[in-house]
Amino acid sequence: MPSLARLIDTAMDRTVAPGYTRLGPAVRRRLSTWPADPPTDALAGRRALVTGASSGLGAATAEGLAALGAEVVLVVRDTDKGAAVVREIQGRRPLARLDVQRCDLADLDDVRRFVAADSADVDVLVHNAGAMPPTRTESPQGHEMTMALHVLSPVLMTELLGDRLRDGRVVMVTSGGMYTQRLREDDPEFVTGKYSGTTAYARSKRAQIELLPILQRRWQPRGVDVHATHPGWADTPGVAESLPTFRKITGPLLRDAAEGADTTVWISATQPPPAGGRLWHDRQPRPTQLLRRTRTGDAERDRMWSWVQELLGL
Ligand SMILES: NC(=O)c1ccc[n+]([C@@H]2O[C@H](COP(=O)([O-])OP(=O)(O)OC[C@H]3O[C@@H](n4cnc5c(N)ncnc54)[C@H](OP(=O)(O)O)[C@@H]3O)[C@@H](O)[C@H]2O)c1
């Protein structure tokens, strides 16, 4: 029976649309391969940071972690929006322990300020903040925005937390869109060619995935495991703004934010801790490549990492 369940699960994944929509969790939850929910006190006494928690999947992740007993810091660039999310969650869950802290994740100096301003330990760090600017945009330090937001800032924050994150779990929220792009260590900031927001976004998410084994080797000696999760297709303000046509076509088939955040919450809390360095979707590890043309070698991965290291002064 588990092998039939695995076959159904994998077929839904490789045919993309059925697995990525709300059908994914609806079917998979009924399969014997679906892992159990963590107990409701799984994160009691733990502290979690969730970036981009003022909206969509980040807000749902914050709520999911708080429901498992964690004290959750919503790391947001707009604290009024963050406070509104806290009020909403506490309206449903009066016991949820939530705090809001400001950080512009595109600004590496602000990431440095943010980490220095606090001294408490962190057990779970969810790098969820994301964006898909339609035109080439640069961060305050002059980096292409999707690379700054999805790669440079998460790596920097995790590095700076150092021993405060000892034995913690780090989750990078990536995207199935990365399956369409190869690693572009030859042009990490999309300087050449005609810029496309969706391509830049998918390239930066590909970079997250390709760096995963390197980051796992680097952070594991501190007891830190790093995972990537992709949410499938979820109806969030980000999708409404950046992909209105896609949203119109897929409409009622999109997941809700909690369904999109499910694997991020699960992997932050499940025991025993899953091995790090892998991509997860709907509570199962998934391949990082589906197309021959996107394959990456160690040399390309290493060059990308050298670029990140040099920029961040690691
Ligand atoms: N929804 C999907 O189907 C889907 C699919 C694949 C991957 N993802 C990934 O899931 C993550 C969450 O996306 P979402 O769909 O929930 O989108 P969303 O509703 O637009 O949420 C994105 C969050 O990131 C924050 N953010 C953006 N730029 C920031 C910055 N410079 N500093 C701090 N915070 C910043 C936003 O803050 P503001 O509220 O201030 O704008 C918002 O809270 C992203 O990494 C996205 O790539 C989503």
Q: At what angle do helices 153-161 and 108-116 cross, to 10 degrees?
A: 20
Indicate the DSSP class of residue 37. P
- Write the residue with the smallest CA distance to atom 36 of ligand 1: 52
Range with the poorest average pLDDT among 82-96, 157-171, 232-246, 263-277:
232-246
Q: How far apart are CA 104 and CA 276, in angstroms?
A: 27
50 C-alpha to ligand 1 centroid (Å): 11
- Write the residue with the smallest CA distance to atom 18 of ligand 1: 238
Decide: 234 in ligand 1 pocket, CB within 6 A.
yes
Claim to verify: residue 53 and residue 18 sit in the same structural domain: no
Q: Token digits for 170?
A: 């780090």
Decide: 78 in ligand 1 pocket, CB within 6 A.
yes
Q: For 178-237, what is each residue's pLDDT tens digit? A: 999 999 999 999 999 999 999 999 999 999 999 999 999 999 999 999 999 999 999 999
Claim to verify: residue 25 and residue 149 sit in the same structural domain: no
Other C-beta atoms closer than 10 Å to the C-beta of 190 total 20
If pLDDT is split at 50, 70 and 90, which confidence band does 67 have? very high
Claim to verify: residue 221 and residue 303 sit in the same structural domain: yes
Q: For 117-163, what is each residue's pLDDT tens digit? A: 999 999 999 999 999 999 999 999 999 999 999 999 999 999 999 99
Claim to verify: residue 29 and residue 55 sit in the same structural domain: no
Claim to verify: residue 68 and residue 21 sit in the same structural domain: no
Claim to verify: residue 30 and residue 46 sit in the same structural domain: no
Which atom of ligand 1 lies closest to the CA of 56? 16
State mean pLDDT over 154-173.
96
pLDDT reported for residue 309: 98
pLDDT reported for residue 170: 98
State mean pLDDT over 287-307.
95
52 C-alpha to ligand 1 centroid (Å): 6
Claim to verify: residue 135 and residue 26 sit in the same structural domain: no
Decide: 238 in ligand 1 pocket, CB within 6 A.
yes
Q: Token digits for 15?
A: 């045919």
Q: Is the pLDDT of residue 264 over 60?
A: yes
Claim to verify: residue 252 and residue 143 sit in the same structural domain: yes
Residues in the chain: 314
Indicate the DSSP class of residue 31. S
Q: For 14-31, what is each residue's pLDDT tens digit? A: 877 789 999 999 999 999
Q: How far apart are CA 163 and CA 179, in angstroms?
A: 33
Decide: 260 in ligand 1 pocket, CB within 6 A.
yes
Q: Is the pLDDT of residue 166 over 60?
A: yes
Claim to verify: residue 203 and residue 248 sit in the same structural domain: yes
20 is catalytic: no
Q: Is the pTM of this model over 0.85?
A: yes
pLDDT reported for residue 249: 86
If pLDDT is split at 50, 70 and 90, which confidence band does 1 have? low
**Structural domain boundaries, residue 9:** 1-34
Decide: 231 in ligand 1 pocket, CB within 6 A.
yes
pLDDT reported for residue 38: 98
Q: How far apart are CA 166 and CA 123, in angstroms?
A: 8
- Choose, from 20, 179, 195, 201, the residue flagged as catalytic: 201
Count of domains observed in the chain: 2
Claim to verify: residue 94 and residue 215 sit in the same structural domain: yes
If pLDDT is split at 50, 70 and 90, which confidence band does 282 have? very high
113-131 per-residue burial string, b: 16 or more CB within 10 A, e: under 16: ebbeeeeeebbbbbbbbbb
How many angstroms from the chain centroid is the CA of residue 124? Answer: 12
pLDDT reported for residue 13: 79
What phi and psi values does residue 50 have, to the nearest 5 degrees?
-125, 115
- Write the residue with the smallest CA distance to atom 42 of ligand 1: 52
Decide: 237 in ligand 1 pocket, CB within 6 A.
yes
Average pLDDT, the chain: 95
Claim to verify: residue 287 and residue 159 sit in the same structural domain: yes
Q: How far apart are CA 158 and CA 118, in angstroms?
A: 14
Claim to verify: residue 4 and residue 141 sit in the same structural domain: no
CATH code for position 180? 3.40.50.720
If pLDDT is split at 50, 70 and 90, which confidence band does 246 have? confident
| Cis? peptide before 2, omega within 30° of 0 | no
Q: Specify the amino acid at residue 148.
A: A
